[in-house]
Amino acid sequence: MSMIASDNGGTNIPKLEGGVYTAISSAIIDLGVQQNKTYGTTQRRFMMIWNILNEEVEVNGEKLPRTMSKEYGFNLGEKSNLRKDLQAWRGQAFNDEELKGFDLLTVLNKACQLQIILEKKDGKEYNNIAGIMSLAKGTKIEKLDDTYYFDIENEETWNNWIKIPKWIQEKIKKADNYEESGLNKYVEEYEKEVSKSEETQNKDMEIIESDDDLPF
């Protein structure tokens, strides 16, 4: 299934100050068919991830690009958040032909401005995207070298599973079509390989520690 929409992180990471930031879309991740327990409905959804330019965060001693994400349904209905955000991003409304089927991959690796707010809830701080805007006319931004997309029903994209943040992987595993698509078998094999690799690394560490006891 193609990435078509139609009209029919970590708590220890310091938060961004509220404001407007330049960003580039770095990933589009299909979440599969997700249940909404509040309304008792199901809907195919996806996650859009943006890299915030000139902002980094340190994780386990490694500096990584600062990212923001937002979840959407594959719906370009008049009142949908996706339609509102994409039109603000593009700086123009969708025409009738585009509303019949718009390829979301056309916005991958495209720049925009994100209005980010800092909110507090239950004693914790959160960053949320309050709005998306197009860049000022004439602004040129260099494209990213490493962008990707993941489609739960397209096996050719499953090799990008390794790039998906853990918390999003766990969300995908709860999709109604996770097993139906066959992705579950791919993930099981992938996790077995990861487990084997970790066991090998642990054995290597044991050998090194044992060598320290040799009388040399």
Write down the pLDDT at residue 9: 47
**Residue 201 phi, psi dihedral angles, 5° rounding:** -60, -40
Which domain range does residue 60 map to?
4-181
Domain assignment present for 57: yes
| CA distances (Å), origin 1, targets 150, 154, 159 | 11, 6, 16
Domain assignment present for 197: no
Domain assignment present for 191: no
Domain assignment present for 188: no
Number of independent structural domains in the chain = 1
pLDDT tens profile 130-181: 999 999 988 999 999 999 999 999 999 999 999 999 999 999 999 999 999 9
Write down the pLDDT at residue 197: 77
- Give percent of the chain above pLDDT 70: 86
Domain assignment present for 51: yes
Domain assignment present for 202: no
Domain assignment present for 195: no
Domain assignment present for 52: yes
Question: What is the C-alpha to C-alpha distance for residues 67 and 200, in angstroms, rounded to an integer?
Answer: 32
